[in-house]
Structure 1
Amino acid sequence: MKIKFCDTYEVCDPRLMLLVFMPEMQSMNESCTVGPSITYLTCLLHLCVEWLELENLEDYLNYVDYLLWVFTPLIIVFILPFFIFFFLYLSILFLHVYKRKNELKEAYSNSIWDGARKTLASLWDGHATIWHGYEIHGLENIPDEGPALIVYYHGALPVDYYYFVAKVILLKGRTCQTVGDHFLFKIPGFKPLLDVFSVIHGPKEECVRALRNGHLLAIAPGGVREAIFSDESYVIVWGNRKGFAQVAIDAQVPIIPMFTQNVREGFRSLGSLSVFRWLYERFKFPFVPVYGGFPVKFRTYLGDPIPYNPNVTAAELAEKAKCAIQFLIDKHQKIPGNIFRALLERFHKRHKED
């Protein structure tokens, strides 16, 4: 029902209620009644604008729209990396459900977990294919049986290594044990995932034992420091680390170098800022923000194995391994890395070969 206010204009019941309870708004009648028939929401909005004295509301909204247009991309690139952690926690949730369903007394120590590993490997492999068009080259360098030490370049987030582990499980039927940084074992809820996928934090004796038992073992000598402080120039940040080489010598196994093209274009860190470097050096914990999550092309390359040689020292072997990874970087990565170029590589097969 509509009630006439004058000979010319009509307003809705809500308009009448506003005038009854807010007499001071009666003077706004002329500004609200701008046509022969006005809707309740339009009228209410117009009244609120005048009552709050927001004559420049459109300018304010345009300013807000501009801020959103500028900052939304920045927000997105810092949020996307959290989807990797979300996916990791989904994997952990799956392991808990799997454990309960199979009613295991000794969690993560029975071969029945092979089914869980293969299921999660399939999920991660699907993520790799859809989001990064993931490829792996040189998988034939991974032995079908017997030990080997895999040494790889560490990206800002080592998602390429997760994809590699998934491929090894699915295509080789093998589990690759991993040397992880100590802080991984302090992340709440990560223990089931670390146990099922055989992530260890050392020491050297445990690494040698794993290799002597016939397992594959992977390590990034640069570790968190390389993840944080390397950049799109793909500088190898190993310092004087040679413990991994001594492990290979003691276990008498070959070293297989590994590098993933565009890994720094997928995720990048703000480690170049001095405040984050100081925080890491002070607390030995990666407080550095990571941004990205871009669906760039990922290609993992496995180089020729460096065979065991009893006459080579740990320092010499470490240098050989470093040179082997540098060779893979020089051969397959355009430097400096470029995010737009890496995105375009999703649509064509051309990539650096020399």
Structure 2
Amino acid sequence: MDRIVFCLSFIPKMTAENTNYTLGQEPLAWLTYILEDYRNYLAYPLIMSVILIILYYPFAVLFFIVYCGSAFYAISKNFYKLPEDITNEKWDKIKQRFAFLSDIAGKILHGYEVCGIENLPKGPALLVYYHGSIPIDYYLFVLRIYRVTGRFPYSVIDNFLSLLPGLKLYLQLGRCGNPTREECVEILKKGNLLGLAPGGLREQNYGDKNYKLLWGKRKGFAQVAIDAKVPIIPLFTQNNREGYRIYGNTAPMRWLYERTRSILFPAYGLFPVKLRTHIGQPIPYNPNLSAEELAEKTKIAMEALRDKHQKIPGSILRALWERFETHHKDE
């Protein structure tokens, strides 16, 4: 009994002295007292959460989709008692189901299509894509390729994503990671497809409706292709930046990004524009090309693919109208 009295002594006393009522007069007195006395502790985090959602809601939608996928895999693993070895063929059916569901979402959101699948070689290749405001196009591309060809490409992602909790199984099944250059070469030498975006977060944050490539002097991807002796396949998604746009390209945000290299600029969008990923002609392995020359050749091929399929500057209204235009599907 003495212990109970001692513990209760730390609870604020609710009398007429610190409230307008006593505990016996109001059944919800405790709740009212907590909300009134601690409203700042509740309101400020709530307000900040709302502000962050407003500033980053397209990213929130993408993360929601990813976490739904993670939950789908985790539930399927327990329900079907799947093995820990994710390379086991028992996982294939589950991955195909998830790819099917994602494909439906892509068609509803953006009427998503892939053109030029015949340009993918049967052997290994390095897939190089333009990094838009939100890479949902590449996410849909990988799963569409898996559905159509049965090949699940490996993907190089920013290390930030691998640090998010609850995504370990999802990233493993999706073959996503942040491998070293040597590991990338080994992945390709084993006959796989490997996708990456040379522009990375810089291209995502600094890019605009003119679709300028922001690769700088990056040539590591070209050296990987040379070391693995594989072709490079350029990828470009039409209307990528009309569905989602960045608006935080300001001096303070640039200052933060240059020092952290992990800042996502605020974005808006989720417009139901037409997204169509075009697979370009392979750039074959040439032992006589240096990494600098191959990187430049890849950049030129990407710009040609962009100029052929993307009207510049991009227009949200025009991209919306393209949902209703007929187009020859080459899948």
Query: How does the TM-score come out when normalised to structure 1?
Result: 0.75
Could you tell me which residue of structure 1 aligns to residue 45 of structure 2? none
Which of the residues 57, 64, 68 maps onto 1:90? 68
Residue 254 of structure 2, aligned match among 277, 289, 292: 277
Match for 1:199 among 156, 165, 176? Answer: 176
Aligned mates of 1:78, 1:293 — CA distance in 2: 11
What is the CA–CA distance in structure 1 between the aligned matches of 2:281 and 2:71, rounded to whole Å? 38
Structure-to-structure mapping, 1:131-280, within 5 angstroms? 131-143=109-121, 145-280=122-257
| Paired letter, 2:128 | V
Structure exhibiting the larger radius of gyration computed from Cα positions: 1
Specify which structure has the bigger relative contact order, considering alpha-carbon pairs within 8 angstroms and separated by 6 or more residues. Answer: 2
Q: Check whether the contact 2:58–2:244 (CA below 8 A) recurs between aligned residues.
A: no
Q: How does 1:13-92 map to 2 (within 5 A)?
A: 79-92=57-70
* Superimposed CA distance per residue, residues 267-291 of structure 1 (whole angstroms, 9 cap, x where no aligned partner): 1112421111111112221231121
- Separation of aligned partners in 2, 1:265 and 1:77: 17
What amino acid sits opposite 1:178 in the alignment?
S
- Name the residue aligned to 1:117: 95
Match of residue 13 from structure 2: none
What CA distance in whole angstroms lies between the structure 2 residues aligned with 1:114 and 1:140?
23
Determine which of 273, 277, 292 is the counterpart of 1:300: 277
Deviations 1:238-261 (A, max 9, x none): 011000100000110000000000
- Cα distance between partner residues in 2 of 1:338 and 1:230: 15
Q: Is the 8 A contact 1:77 1:293 kept in 2?
A: no
For the aligned residues, what is the CA RMSD?
A: 1.8
2:305 to 328, 334, 346: 328
| Cα displacement (A) at 1:167 | 1.2
Post-superposition shift, 1:348?
Answer: 1.5
In the TM superposition, what whole-angstrom CA distance separates every residue of 1:318-347 from its partner, at most 9, and x where no partner exists?
001111110011111111111111111111
In 1, the alpha carbon distance for the partners of 2:91 and 2:253 equals 39
Q: Per-residue CA shift, 1:54-100, capped at 9, x if unaligned?
A: xxxxxxxxxxxxxxxxxxxxx87953542222111111001111111
Name 1:128's counterpart in structure 2: 106
Alpha-carbon separation, structure 1, partners of 2:197 and 2:133? 12
Aligned residues: 276
Corresponding letter in the other structure for 1:285: S
> What letter is aligned with 2:69?
S
Aligned-partner Cα distance in 2 for 1:168–1:340: 29
Report the TM-score when normalising by structure 2: 0.80
What does residue 78 of structure 2 align with?
Answer: 100
1:216 deviation in Å?
0.5
List runs of 5+ in structure 1 lacking aligned partners.
1-74
Task: Output the CA distance in 1 between the equivalents of 2:55 and 2:104.
Answer: 22
1:141-161 per-position Cα deviation (integer Å, ceiling 9, x unaligned): 112x32011100001110100
Contact in 2 for aligned 1:91/1:120 (Cα 8 Å):
yes
- The question of 1:319 aligning with 2:296 is answered yes
Provide closer, same or farther for how the CA distance between residues 344 and 77 of structure 1 changes in structure 2, counting only shifts above 3 A.
farther
In 1, distance between residues paired with 2:165 and 2:255? Answer: 25
Mapped partners of 2:85, 2:138: distance in 1: 25
The 3 A distance-change label for structure 1 pair 76 and 279 is: closer
Q: 2:114 is aligned with what amino acid?
A: I
Would you identify which runs of 4 or more consecutive aligned residues in structure 1 move more than 3 Å? 75-81
Inter-CA distance 97–330: structure 2 relative to 1 (3 Å threshold)? same
**CA distance, structure 2, for counterparts of residue 350 and residue 176 of structure 1:** 26
Once residues 156 and 107 of structure 1 are traced to their aligned partners in structure 2, the CA distance between those partners, rounded to angstroms, is: 34
Secondary structure of 2:154 counterpart: strand
- Secondary structure in 1 matching 2:212: coil
How far apart are residue 102 of structure 1 and its match?
3.2
Q: 1:271 to 1:321 in 2, by over 3 A?
A: farther
How many Å apart are 1:111 and its aligned residue?
2.7
Contact 2:58 2:267 in 1 (8 A): no
